[in-house]
A and B are shown apart, each in its own frame.
Chain A
Amino acid sequence: MNLQSAVGVALRALLLNRERSLLTVLGIIIGVAAVIVTVAIGAGARASIESTIGSLGSNLVVILPGSTATGGVNVGIGSASTLTVGDGLAIAQQVRHAAAVTPLVVLRTQPISQYSNWQTSVAGVSPAWPFVRSWAVGSGSFFNDTDVDTSAKVCVIGTTVQTQLFPNDEDPVGQMVEINNVPFRIVGVLTSHGHSMIGTDQDDVIVIPYSSLLQRLSTSANGPDIVGALAVSVDASQNVTRTISAISQLLRTRHRIVPPHSDDFQVRDLADIARAASAAGVMLQILLASIATVSLIVGGIGIMNIMLVSVTERTREIGLRMAVGAPAQAILLQFLVESVVLSVVGGGIGIVVGVIASGIAAHFGHFPFTVSIPTVFLALLFSAAIGIGFGFYPARKAAHLDPIVALHAE
């Protein structure tokens, strides 16, 4: 008996017991589907984290002011808002690997266009900001150093702000927008940056020169050169750690901090946070993969179980096949092929279910939908291996039946 007719015989036998066959392969279906979804979610999460890291800017270091709560009342006077425009300029000039520096001052406000109004964040930054954040201007241009020097009333808007303030699709470049009753001319529109790691819309922003924000819009009592944060782009990733300590050193000197006083600022490497998130993604993937493995093993045991039942039920048939001259090997092959067909069909259904589930997960999880072809083949191969592995014992049992006993079984 050749393999082709063995597959035919196996398919016939399985189709005769459609319901039972389907229930038997449920474990394999779930297992394979789980593998496909796991890989899809993993790949999606990785892609999403990578794009977030990319969107944060290359080798980004962020300097935040120290918290006033630290150390209770003993915090030095005036150290709550400690970072100044001058700190940023000093870092740009004196720290060797600081390729670009931008201050960051954020104001939550309600800009108005001639058509509409929209609550958003207005960020005061330097012309180095697009480079630091790896964020290009889509149309128009970014403002320059002269605009900063003159506290020019110019702004660059994000795509979300564009659609909200200019709902009629016209080009906003050159148009005016009022921010806290001060008219700003739009000189550029940023490219879309999508959602951040924590799900906020990064495109919901207006960027203006920091000097314009500090001098024309700021209502805070902090003074005209206090900034919310400083963002520094380091020239190469291997220099990040060195640069962090150089910045800390410089700021300690500038802020006249000597032991035992603690720093009134924090320097953070944002890519580190992204890497931590990526590691969490890997953990999630390992967890899902273990569940999938357990499910596949349970599925395999299910197949073994039902094949043993099948061998018992069909003992007479096996006896008859032996009597008409089937060698033991043909009986072994018949039942082995049956369990392999069972598990591969289950694997096939599992792939379809898994791809559909990944599509749904990608849709609701906001990550790119990918189906990895090697994974699909691996899943099929794995389910075939389960069929052979767990089908071998029942098949061997069938092949070693005594034909006389088998023929007279009830």
Chain B
Amino acid sequence: MTPTIQTRDLTRLFTTGKTVLAAVDHVTFALQPGEFAAIMGPSGSGKSTFMNLIGCLDRATSGRYALDGTDVSTLSADQLAALRRQELGFVFQQYNLLPRTSALQNVELPMVYASVGPAERRTRARQALIDVGLDEDHHRSNPHELSGGQQQRVAIARALVNNPRLMLADEPTGALDSKTSAEIMKLFLRLNRERNLTILMVTHELDVARYSNRIVSFLDGRIVSDEPVVRAAAAS
């Protein structure tokens, strides 16, 4: 089986003046389809840079990265954009919903760039919102009228609406209280189990990380541990 993510000696250097910093330093990593992995590590450990590379938002200085078997290092900017549109879904800490734009329209946004017709956009956006547990009363609400948990559900619906192979979540519960965090994590788990959705998530919180199957720890740009989560049966 082709891994969803396969990196070999992936390196990202940042040069400021004469100082060269290896934010990601020869990382070799693989994520299989259907896996749900959490990346942990202190600030500056390189986990965000790694996520940016995986998300095709940034280019590696050296090393290889294949997304679902496709080597992305040779792709043009437009091809990377197409990859993000078709294969990836992003969830952010600050939700990044368009302000003064309804939940439905926010979810429709990726489909606008994927040239989906307006009628189909509306249908799929509605279904995606229902799938993530946002009831129809809130579909026409603007982000500021929704709670943090509801906003993050809209963001998750937006990430999933183009049926990506991989969902990338950067501190998805960072702005939420613990009860809401647990709800969002249960949603992640459900999506992972029911749809076999591959998820890579960055988090600070061990409680959150423990919802995943696998915890990868970063330190100084390298992976220092990579262990499966032994879960008590009560989690879901």
A residues apposed to B, CB below 8 Å:
1-2, 5, 9, 16, 316-317, 319-330, 403-404, 407
Contact = CB atoms under 8 A, between A and B. Distances in A.
23 contacts: A1-B113, A1-B115, A2-B115, A316-B96, A323-B55, A324-B84, A324-B85, A324-B90, A324-B110, A324-B158, A325-B81, A325-B82, A325-B86, A325-B114, A326-B81, A327-B78, A327-B81, A327-B82, A327-B113, A328-B77, A329-B78, A407-B57, A407-B92
B52 interface: yes
Interface in B77-114: 77-78, 81-86, 88, 90, 92, 96, 98, 100, 109-110, 112-114
Contact of A330 (B58, B98, B113): B113
A324 B114 CA distance: 10
Given A317-B98, A325-B110, A403 B85 contact: no
A407 B81 CA distance: 15
Interface string B147-177: 0000000000010001000000000000000
Given A2-B115, A326-B113, 10 more contacts: A16-B100, A316-B96, A320-B96, A321-B109, A323-B90, A324-B84, A324-B85, A324-B109, A325-B88, A325-B110
A326 B158 CA distance: 14
B55 to A, nearest CB: 7
Contacts of B110: 324-325
Counting chain A CB atoms within 10 Å of each CB, which of B88, B98, B115 scores highest? B98
Nearest to B76: A327
A2 B109 CA distance: 13
A404 B52 contact: yes
B118 to A, nearest CB: 8
B57 A403 contact: yes
A21 B78 CA distance: 31
Interface of B: 52, 55, 57-58, 77-78, 81-86, 88, 90, 92, 96, 98, 100, 109-110, 112-115, 118, 158, 162
Contacts of A9: 112
Nearest to B92: A407
A144 B118 CA distance: 84
Contacts of B100: 16
Q: Helix, strand, loop or mixed for chain B's interface?
A: helix
A321 B81 CA distance: 10
A404 B78 contact: no
Contact of A407 (B82, B96, B112, B113): B96
Among A321, A328, A330: residue with most chain B CB under 10 A: A321
Contacts of A407: 57, 92, 96
Nearest to B170: A407
A317 B105 CA distance: 14
A321 B96 CA distance: 10
Contacts of B82: 325, 327
A5 B114 CA distance: 12
Contacts of B58: 404
Given A404-B57, A407-B96, A324 B113 contact: yes
Contact of B77 (A5, A323, A327, A404): A327
Contact of B81 (A2, A316, A320, A328): A328
Contacts of A323: 55, 57, 84, 90, 96
A358 B165 CA distance: 62
Given A324-B158, A325-B84, A5 B112 contact: yes
A1 B57 contact: no
B100 to A, nearest CB: 5
B54 to A, nearest CB: 12
Contacts of B113: 1, 321, 324-327, 330
A329 B78 CA distance: 9
Contacts of A329: 78
Contacts of A317: 98
B156 to A, nearest CB: 13
Contacts of A16: 100
A313 to B, nearest CB: 10
B104 to A, nearest CB: 14
Nearest to B114: A325
A319 B85 CA distance: 13
Contacts of B96: 316, 319-320, 323, 407
Contacts of A321: 109, 113
B123 to A, nearest CB: 17
Nearest to A410: B94
A230 B2 CA distance: 107
Nearest to A4: B118
B81 A1 contact: no
Q: Which 9 A-B pairs have the closest CB atoms?
A: A325-B85, A324-B110, A327-B81, A325-B84, A327-B78, A320-B96, A403-B57, A326-B113, A323-B90
